[in-house]
Every structure is written in structure tokens, then in C-alpha cells.
Structure 1
Amino acid sequence: MLNKTEQTGLSSSRISTQQFWVFHIGGWSAMALVSYLSLTIWYNPGQLIPALHTVLQSVLGLFVSYPLRWAGSALWNAPIIRRVILNGAAIILASIIWTALRVTTFTALTGEVINPADWGGWLYASLTIFGAWSFCYHALKYYRQWLEQRQLATEAQKAALEAQTLAQLESLKRLEAESQYKDAKLRMLKYQLNPHFLFNALNSVTHLVRKGDQTSATEMLVKIAEFLRTSLEHDDELLHSLRDELEVIELYLAIEKSRFGDRLQTEFNVSDEALNVNVPSFLLQPVYENAMKYAVGQSLSPTVISFSAECDGDDLTLSISDTGPGFHEMEESSARSSIGIGLRNVEERLQSQYGANYNLRIENNDKGGASVRITIPAKLESVKPVPVDEDVLG
């Protein structure tokens, strides 16, 4: 079996041979016609023998000139000087042979003897014809080589473009797959929050029912329903403005205030610019829930949870701190391992959304309590700022 390159080469060689014989026979046929119209019919009109000699000398020229093809092909890659000399020698030799054959056949057919002094004219005509033959052969061969090189260059360019296109398609597919994976991961992390929160909230409702405080339990269920309704409204959002995020937190805190009463106090300090920055949806709720568990839930005295948000250049810094017991009797390096699924979820979402362009710091406050500090790129929401409800800011 021949490979594609060998098949192409064999096909090219076959076409080259066919083209040679077409031009070779056509050229000598044209030579016979021109010779007859310009010489034979002028000097020997209506005579058969001179016309026969005109045809015969073209047939002889057909065979005598054929070896010039071997010489031209064999010397094709030789240095130019060597090619000119050896091809010139082949032309002279072929011209001498053809001249001798023309003179001999003319004498044999007509009985006329050519004067040796006239052989020079016959030889000159032979040199002209065979020189033209060799020129046409090399010109056509160069032209054909140029066509083949151009075709190869076109095919190489086409192959390069196809390879580039395939590479771009593969790159687009990879980027699309990575984007879909990223979105799926973010949604998975987000959806982990609702069951976790719902479990704690329903436990609080159960506790109120067992205490017999049906009014408070009913109010809490209404607030839970409102919170879940808002969650469903933002279900498909991976990002929304900090203003929308604080509206969600307001609903969450209303539920937790029904649970803890005066033990839970909140403070907000948010700049107008920060309100319009996009943040991952439901980012703050697990941070507040962590404070409920480790600060408010661990103390009988009032606990203040403070929130601040401000833009610093291209970054947005969010800070949630409490006045609870903090990570007492625990090194800060081990704090991360004790914060539970909520803050681990927050960190995974930040990493998935921003890569390495975020900072999450969890530590004890200098005056007691714990704080969570989040720094992310400040990408503004593509809407005009609107006044924020003061209730959202506490």
C-alpha cells in the first residue's frame, strides 16, 4: 500500500509524462505544419516527395529530441553552469544527428545531393529548433514546479488554518466546560446553605412550640417563609449587589431576633459606593449564622454583631465582628478547623468565584469576640445607585 505522499507523487509523475507527450507531439506536428506552409508549399507546390520529407523530418525530430528530456531531467538539480554546458552539448549533438538524418533522407527521397557548403544552413536551423525545444521544456518544467510549490504552500496554509481552527474550537470547548464546571460548583455550594439554615430555623420553631409560645412560633414561620421566598427569587443568581445581599440578611436577622430576642443586637456601617458592588449571593448569611452559633448562642448577655463595608481602590472589604467569647482557649491557626461547614462553604465559593483574587481572614478581636474579614474585587453593578432602606442598615 502506498501512503498519501507516494500516491500524490505517482499521480504527479503520471500527469507530467502525459503533459510531456502532448506538448512533444503537438510541438513537432506544429513544426511540420509551419515548415510545409513556409517552405515546402512555396518552393515545391503540389509535389508529394518534398511534402513527405517535411513530415518525415518532424517524425525523426520527435525521436531525436526525446533524449534531451533525459538530459534535462538528470541535470535538473545540478549547478547552473554545469546544466548550461551539458544541456548545450546535448542540443548540439542532437542538432548534428537530426541534420544528418534530414540530409540523408532528402537525398534518398529526391535523388538530389546536398552541397556540403549548404550543410551549415541546415545545421543552423536544427540548432534553432532544438534550442527552442530545450527552452520550452525547461520553461514548462519551471512553471509546473512553481504550480506544485504554490499548491503545497496553499495546502500547508489550509492545514495550518484548519489546525488553528481546531485548536480554537478545542480551547473554546475547554473554556466553556470550565465555565460550566465553575457555575455548577458555585450553585452546588450555594444550594448547600438553604437546607443548613432551614434545619436550624425549624429547630428554633420547634423549641418555641414546645415552650407554648405559639405566637412567636407563628411569627417565625412567617419570616422563614418570607426568607425562603426571597431565596427563590434570587435562585439563579450567582452574583448580586451588596444592597440585595443586605436585604436577605435583614430577613435572616428578623428570624434570629425572634429566636434570641434582646440577646441579639446588630450594627451596620456601609458606604454608598459599596452598596452597588456585586458580591456572591447569600455570601453573608453563613457568616452571620456562624456568629449566632459561636457568639450569641454561647452568651446570656447581649451580643452585638457589627457589619461594615467599604471600597478601597479596586477592592471591597466586608467585615463581620461580634462581642462574643471569640476563639477563647484556642490558637487562631486552629480557628479555621472549628468554624464548621458555613465558613468553609464561604471560602470555597470565594475561591471558585475569584480564584486567588480574594482574602478571607478569621481571627479574634483585640477587645474580645471574633471577626471575619473578606476582601474581594470591587465590580460595580451595572445599575444606577438608588437610596437604600435605612432598616437594611439597622
Structure 2
Amino acid sequence: MQTTFDQYIQPRLASPGHQYWLFQIAGWSAMTMLSYFSLTLWYNPGQWTPAFHTILQSILGLLVSHPLRWIASAAWEKPLVSRILINVGAILGASLAWTFLRLITFQWLTAEIVNPKDYGGWLFASVIVFGSWIFCYHALKYYRQLMEQRELAIAAQRDVLEAKSLAQEESVKRLTAESLYREARLRMLKYQINPHFLFNALNSVTLLVRKGEADNAAQMLSRIADFLRVSLEHNDELEHTLAEEIDVLDLYLSIEKLRFGDRLQTEFSLTSEAERFIVPSFLLQPLFENAMKYAVGRSLKPTRITLEGRVENGWLELCIADTGPGIDFAKTGDDERSTGIGLRNVEQRLRSSYRDNFRFDLAPNHPHGLKINLAIKDDNPRAGASSKISKPVGMPVATDE
């Protein structure tokens, strides 16, 4: 609750104009007390006329000193020499005027004639008083200016530190996310120059042509072109909807489906809410690439890869499972370690994007195969847009509401 001082007095004390009159009144009141106790009371004890003159000369001094404020303020921005000359002239002018008024009022009140030899003493005292006035004015102005600059410097430094801290935090997060994103994107782009991928894809086209399946060969070439186009032209967004992620994944799987034929079976079961969930770009491609290499590629039997997705209590829960030979977690050979590169990359991207709001683990898929359980929670959910990438023909996605 605001007090009267906080509501009325303190704002006025903060005003330069009010501060000026406060110092004026306080200074000349102090001048009155000093003159009375050092001169008037000493030389004219018990006399009211000299005491009244002491009060009157302070009032006159206040009035005479007031124009000094305008003069000193006008000279503030001028060169140092000019400022000194102007202020010295103002001191002499004010001293002469105050000395004259003091003498006139003293002789009028006391009916005494002041000896002309004493005029110098009266004038000297006036010069001391107004010289002190000008000194105090400049000292307070410099002090106020120093305090304002200091407050501005402190505020600017605080703003800079806060902005720097926020910028560094956001920069680290973004750079980490961008770095991991570009790494995943480069892993996708390498299919353009990856001899193994191109050899297998083109060899499959050759076999289709030799079998006289020109339509299937043309279809596979079209899907390879679509995949390469997406890898080159897909924008640099760091995240998109899960539905868009599935569309990118379908381009890759459509090629592998034609290459492996019935050996590759896929089944997707996603809720509509899961499809609208925002996920990092190229999140699933490394996981399916891992399954393609170590499940389908290592088995001559049909291998099924399933993807299930749903949203529970704000968490997107995904499960990618295959029926391949699985991974022996006890092995530490180079081949087994290479299996985890893509998986570790996905885990690092999730940690960068969601910090502690994610779960990522591998488990055996009974009776055989590998299962990857992934869950993420977005503290700032956004409405997802519809898919922007056309799905290749022949790759339907099963969804469960």
C-alpha cells in the first residue's frame, strides 16, 4: 500500500525543478542561520531590526540567485573557457546586485550610514556566497549527470548480459539441433552418390527390364527420381508433422519394396492425433534404414516392419518393430557398433530438441527381431498441417483412430 510520501512527495522530489527549489530554500535558510548566529547575534544581541535584515537579505539573495540558474544552464554546453567567463561574470553581477540591495535595506531599516570603506567587505562576502552557489550548482549537475550515466550503463550492461545469455542458450540449442539435423539430412543425401544404394536400385531396374516388366521398371525409376528430388529440394525445416515424416519415409520404402519384393512387408498403425504431432525432420528414416540393413538384408524370409503411433497424455508414443534376426546386445564387433550410429544420432537429436521430455530404448521383439520404443512430449504443442509430399502409389498407410 502506497503512503502519502510515496504517492505525492517522492515523485516531486525526483523532479529536477522541485529539487532545485528544495536546495535553494534549504541553502538560503542555512545562510540565514549562519549569518544570524555568527554576526547578528554577536554584534546586535536582542535587537529585532538586524535580525529582520538578516532574514530579508537571504530572501533577496534567493531572488538574485535565481537568474544564475538560467545563465549557468545556458553556458553548460559551451566550451570550457567561455563557460568560466560567463559564470565569473554572473557571479560578479549577482554579487554587486545583492551587495547594493543589502546596503540599501540595512540603511533603511537601521537608519545607519555604512562607511564606504566597508563596501569591499560586503562585496567580498557576496562574491563568496554566489561563487559557492555556482560551485554547488555545477557540482550537483555533474553528480546528477554521473548518476544518470551510471544507471544507463548498469541498465545497458544488464540488458546486454540478459540478451547475451538468452542468445547463447538459443544459439547452442539451435546450432546443436541444426547440426544433428544436417547430419541426418546428409545421411539421406548420400544415397545420391552411395554406390551400394544406386547399384542395388539400378540393378533391380535392370532385372525388371530383362523380365519384360517395363511398367514396373519405369515405376521404380520414377520412385528413385522422387526420392532424389525430395532429398535435394525438401526445405530446411527442422521439424514437421508426423504425417509429413511418413510421406518422406514412404519414398524410401517404396524403392526398397520394389527391390526386396515380398521379403519386405510394412504395416503402419497411426492415430490421426499422432499424425498431427510435430516431430524433428528425418526422425524415422535412420530407424527404418537400420531395420532395412540388419533385418531385411540379413534374412531370406519375409520380414515385417511395423510402426505404431499414438498420443497419450501429451506424449507421442512410437514403436518400430521388425521380425528380422535381431541384434545381439552382448556383441561389440565393428558391425554391431555400426548398427547403433544411426540410433545414437536419433537419441542425440531428441535430447537436443526435448531435453528430458523423451524416452528412447531398444528391446527384443518376440519371438525374434528388434523393437525400438520412442516417446516425446512437446511442452509447446502446435497444430500440424496436412502432408505436403505426395505419397508414391502402392504404399498405403494403415491408420487406427
Q: What TM-score, normalized to structure 1?
A: 0.63
Return the alpha-carbon distance in structure 1 between the equivalents of residues 169 and 278 of structure 2: 23
Q: Which amino acid aligns with 2:371?
A: S
Q: Does 1:234 align with 2:302?
A: no
Asked whether the 8 Å contact 1:193–1:342 carries over to 2, the reply is no
Return the alpha-carbon distance in structure 1 between the equivalents of residues 367 and 191 of structure 2: 29
- Partner residue, 1:204: 200
Asked whether the 8 Å contact 2:181–2:281 carries over to 1, the reply is no
- Partner residue, 2:51: none
Instruction: Give the number of aligned pairs.
Output: 306
1:326 offset after TM fit, Å?
0.8
Q: Secondary structure at the match of 2:368?
A: coil
Asked whether the 8 Å contact 2:205–2:220 carries over to 1, the reply is no
- Partner residue, 1:392: 397
1:224 offset after TM fit, Å?
1.1
TM alignment of 1:49-64, pairs within 5 A: 53-54=115-116, 56-63=117-124
Q: Which amino acid aligns with 1:57?
A: D
Q: What TM-score, normalized to structure 2?
A: 0.62
Q: Does 1:167 align with 2:142?
A: no
Identical columns (%): 32
1:339 offset after TM fit, Å?
1.1
Return the alpha-carbon distance in structure 2 between the equivalents of residues 203 and 23 of structure 1: 99
Q: Deviations over 1:325-365 (max 9, x none)?
A: 1114x438999734154323322332332234322212212
Return the alpha-carbon distance in structure 2 between the equivalents of residues 260 and 308 of structure 1: 22
Asked whether the 8 Å contact 1:286–1:343 carries over to 2, the reply is yes
- Partner residue, 2:256: 256
Q: Which amino acid aligns with 1:260?
A: F
Q: Secondary structure at the match of 1:298?
A: coil
TM alignment of 1:11-22, pairs within 5 A: none
Asked whether the 8 Å contact 2:263–2:303 carries over to 1, the reply is yes
- Partner residue, 1:274: 274
TM alignment of 1:309-388, pairs within 5 A: 309-328=309-328, 330-331=329-330, 337-378=337-378, 380-383=381-384
Return the alpha-carbon distance in structure 1 between the equivalents of residues 177 and 155 of structure 2: 32
Q: Secondary structure at the match of 1:283?
A: coil
Asked whether the 8 Å contact 2:294–2:326 carries over to 1, the reply is yes
- Partner residue, 2:188: 194
Q: Does 1:30 align with 2:98?
A: yes
Q: Deviations over 1:147-198 (max 9, x none)?
A: 5543333232122122223324434553564355235414421322223444
Asked whether the 8 Å contact 2:185–2:282 carries over to 1, the reply is no
Higher Rg of the two aligned structures: 1
Q: Are residues 35 and 201 of structure 1, via their aligned partners in 2, closer, same or farther at CA, if it must alter by over 3 Å?
A: same
Q: Which amino acid aligns with 1:61?
A: W
Return the alpha-carbon distance in structure 1 between the equivalents of residues 176 and 90 of structure 2: 67
Q: Which amino acid aligns with 1:298?
A: R
Q: Which amino acid aligns with 1:204?
A: N
Asked whether the 8 Å contact 2:269–2:397 carries over to 1, the reply is no
Q: Deviations over 1:116-137 (max 9, x none)?
A: xxxxxxxxxxxxxxxxx6xx88
Q: Secondary structure at the match of 1:295?
A: helix
1:321 offset after TM fit, Å?
0.3
Return the alpha-carbon distance in structure 2 between the equivalents of residues 258 and 369 of structure 1: 22
Return the alpha-carbon distance in structure 1 between the equivalents of residues 354 and 322 of structure 2: 26
Q: Secondary structure at the match of 2:297?
A: helix
> Which structure carries more relative contact order (alpha carbon 8 Å, separation 6+)?
2
Q: Which amino acid aligns with 2:377?
A: P
Q: Does 1:158 align with 2:152?
A: yes
Q: Deviations over 1:194-248 (max 9, x none)?
A: 2344434312124335654574554322211122233445332221111111122
Asked whether the 8 Å contact 1:295–1:322 carries over to 2, the reply is yes
Moved more, 193-202 or 31-40: 31-40
Q: Secondary structure at the match of 1:154?
A: helix
Q: Secondary structure at the match of 1:339?
A: helix
Structure 2: gaps spanning 5 or more residues: 1-78
Q: Which amino acid aligns with 1:192?
A: L
Return the alpha-carbon distance in structure 1 between the equivalents of residues 185 and 356 of structure 2: 23
- Partner residue, 1:305: 305
- Partner residue, 2:291: 291
Q: Which amino acid aligns with 1:301?
A: K
Q: Are residues 238 and 30 of structure 1, via their aligned partners in 2, closer, same or farther at CA, if it must alter by over 3 Å?
A: closer
Structure 1: gaps spanning 5 or more residues: 1-10, 45-49, 70-132
Q: Which amino acid aligns with 2:367?
A: K
Q: Deviations over 1:269-317 (max 9, x none)?
A: 2112101001112211221111111111111111111110111212111
Asked whether the 8 Å contact 2:322–2:370 carries over to 1, the reply is yes
